[in-house]
Structures are given as C-alpha cells and as structure tokens.
C-alpha cells in the first residue's frame, strides 16, 4: 500500500521532532503494510520555515539512510491554500506529490475561503491536479457536501484520512467519510500521520472498514491503485463521474470545458 499524506520528516513541522521518532514512525508504517510514504511537510507561509526544497531533500536523505527501502520514502508537501497558488506553483515552495503533477491542498478545519473554485480550476489548465486533504474533517464541507461535489466535478480529487473512517476524528468526520465513500466522492485514503502516539500511521483497520462499506475493489483502488497512479504521475484508475446537481449550470459549463481540454 502507498500513503500519499504523511508527516514523517523530523523537526520541520508538527510531525516528529527527532530523527529517532521519525524512524520509529516509518517502521510502524511498514508494519501496517505501507510500502511507500510520500513525506508531506506543511507549506504555510509565515508559520513553518521549511520551504527550502534543498533542506527538505537533505533531511529526507538522512531519514532514508536510517530507514532503508522499507518503506520507500519520497517527497511531496501539503500546501495550505492561498488564492495565488498558481503563481506559487511556478516557484519552489510547493512540492508536488512524488515530484509529479498532483498537489496536496489543505484548508483550515473550520473554513473554506471564498472563491476557491477558480484557482483550483485554473491550475488544472497548467497541468496540475489538486487533491484536497481531508475534506471530511472540514465543517464547511461537512455541512455543504454539494460544495465539495461541485469541486470534484471540475476535476479536483479528494483524500480522506484513514482515522476518519475508523472514527478517530469524531462522528461528523466519520459520517461524512462514510457517506462520500459510498457516493464515489473519495479518490484516495491516507494516514496524515504526525507521530507514533496520538496520530500514528494506521492503515490496515481502515482498509478493512472501507472494504466492508464499499467492497474490496474500491478498497484496492483507494489504498493501492490510485495512490500508485499519483506517485507514478498517471491518471487515476478509479475516478467516477459524478451526476450533475439539478440547476447547476456553471458546474455543467466547467465540466464541459474540462472534458474538451482533456480529450
């Protein structure tokens, strides 16, 4: 299995503080059946001073030196959304997942900024694919799921946290994750692990739960095939079309333009 959202680099954000903690966390991940980790340090201007790609690469190399190839660790980032993300993508601070064209994007848990559709659409015209990190933990998406669906219809992908499906982030996140899984709104599952204690890299229990809820084929897609596609920078294997909401003319227009451009 492949985990595309995982804070395992020491001392760069709110993940592990020391190299020893990082190594333990990676070994826990391997025990959970995770063969590849995408290390995704937070990128939030003003809060984390970790935006040097050279610095992160050297920390990753040090970690790899201790962990070896099980699990394999590759670099990415978790970008805190700002409206100028298209300009930011021309620089070095946002690191695409495994160096491909998928970008992990997070919002605060209690808000989604206004007018996010256009920038999330515009970056796709430049060849990027936004993946929203843990929308099921966001109260706006929980209360307005159709808003999330409208983003998926314009090509945005979603990553749900394994701990949400098993109830560790509360009943609201679990209910949203379960509902969206059944509707085909979830593209990939990931741990969003931060440490070995409070937020450990748990995968197996969530995979079993997803298989119970949606079937083994969907579990295989969300834990193996789609994350593999992201790491190998290909189109997703499992990417169901969502029916249009009635009366949603602008959503239909976005969808039509997207289909014309991706033919």
**Contact footprint for Fe ion (CB under 5 A):** 78, 192
Instruction: Check whether the bond before 71 is cis (ω within 30° of 0).
Output: yes
Nearest CB to Fe ion, comparing residues 38 and 222: 38
Please state, in angstroms and rounded to a whole number, the distance separating the CA atoms of residues 179 and 106. Answer: 21
CB of 176 to Fe ion, least distance (A): 17
CB of 40 to Fe ion, least distance (A): 6
**Using the 8-state DSSP alphabet, how is residue 79 labeled?**
E
C-beta nearest to Fe ion: residue: 192
Q: Which residues pair with 129 in a beta bridge?
A: 102
**Using the 8-state DSSP alphabet, how is residue 214 labeled?**
H
Element (H, E) at 80: strand 78-80
Nearest CB to Fe ion, comparing residues 78 and 136: 78
Nearest CB to Fe ion, comparing residues 38 and 156: 38
CB of 32 to Fe ion, least distance (A): 17
Nearest CB to Fe ion, comparing residues 78 and 255: 78
145-153 vs 117-125: helix crossing angle, rounded to 10:
20
Nearest CB to Fe ion, comparing residues 2 and 154: 2
CB of 107 to Fe ion, least distance (A): 12
Nearest CB to Fe ion, comparing residues 43 and 214: 43
What residues contact residue 163 under an 8 Å CB cut-off, 6+ apart? 169, 191, 192, 199, 202, 206
Cβ neighbourhood burial of 198 (10 Å; 0-12, 13-18, 19+):
exposed
Find out whether 230 and 5 touch, Cβ atoms under 8 Å: no
CB of 106 to Fe ion, least distance (A): 6
CB of 42 to Fe ion, least distance (A): 7
């Amino acid at each position: 299995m492949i985990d595309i959202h995982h804070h395992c680099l020491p001392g760069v954000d709110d993940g592990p503080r020391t190299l020893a903690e990082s190594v333990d966390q990676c070994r826990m991940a391997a025990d959970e059946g995770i063969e590849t980790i995408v290390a995704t340090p937070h990128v939030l201007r003003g809060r984390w001073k970790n935006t040097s790609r050279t610095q992160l690469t050297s920390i990753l190399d040090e970690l790899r030196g201790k962990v070896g190839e099980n699990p394999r660790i590759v670099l990415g980032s978790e970008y805190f959304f700002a409206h100028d993300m298209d300009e930011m993508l021309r620089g070095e601070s946002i690191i695409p997942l495994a160096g491909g064209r998928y970008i992990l994007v997070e919002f605060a848990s209690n808000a989604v900024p206004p007018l996010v559709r256009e920038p999330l659409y515009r970056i796709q015209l430049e060849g990027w694919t936004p993946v929203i990190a843990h929308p099921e933990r966001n109260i706006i998406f929980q209360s307005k799921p159709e808003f999330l669906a409208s983003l998926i219809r314009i090509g945005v992908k979603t990553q749900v946290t394994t701990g949400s499906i098993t109830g560790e982030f509360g009943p609201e996140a679990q209910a949203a994750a379960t509902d969206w899984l059944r509707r085909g709104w979830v593209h990939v599952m990931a741990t969003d692990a931060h440490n070995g204690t409070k937020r450990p890299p748990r995968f197996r229990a969530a995979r079993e739960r997803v298989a119970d809820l949606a079937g083994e084929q969907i579990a295989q897609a969300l834990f193996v095939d789609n994350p593999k596609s992201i790491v190998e920078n290909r189109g997703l294997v499992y990417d169901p079309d969502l029916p249009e909401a009635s009366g949603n003319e602008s959503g239909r227009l976005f969808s039509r333009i997207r289909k014309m451009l991706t033919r």
